[in-house]
Amino acid sequence: MDDNQFIGLVATRTGTSSEQATALVRATLTTLAERIDGGEARDLAGQLPRGLRPYAFASGETAERFGLDVFVERVSGRADIDVTQAKDGVTAVFDVLRQALPPAGYGDVVSQLPAEYGEVADLTAPFVERTR
């Protein structure tokens, strides 16, 4: 999967423009990189399409511990959208991540998230496409 396909899938799932989907993807990956350990963020970045990799690099080795509400608020601010749209966007990005990454790679990422993130990230295996 390349950058355009990834963003296109997010745009389709959210019903937004390519530009808005790009902002959502970048904001979600940046926020996710803050929330997971630095090593895991680097592993994630290595599995992403080349153009999206820079957004998944963590600024440090230690993950910040924050809940889903803070995650969604950060994405909302970064993508300049309201919180409801941000939550839908985060869900779409996680769904596309689950589709794009090998199962073990996705599992490693979501294993670092608390159970409340199950609202936006399918924490179970195998991949099952969500329906609206």
Per-residue pLDDT reduced to its tens digit, 17-69: 999 999 999 999 999 999 999 999 999 999 999 999 999 987 778 889 999 99
On the CB side of 81, CA atoms within 13 Å amount to: 23
Question: How confident is the model over 85-124, as pLDDT tens digits?
Answer: 999 999 999 999 999 999 889 999 999 999 999 999 987 7
Q: Is the dihedral of CA 23, 50, 127, 9 positive or negative?
A: positive
Q: b/e map of 4-15 (b: 16 or more CB within 10 Å)?
A: eebbebbbebbe
Question: Alpha-carbon distance 64 to 34, whole Å?
Answer: 6
Which pTM was predicted?
0.91
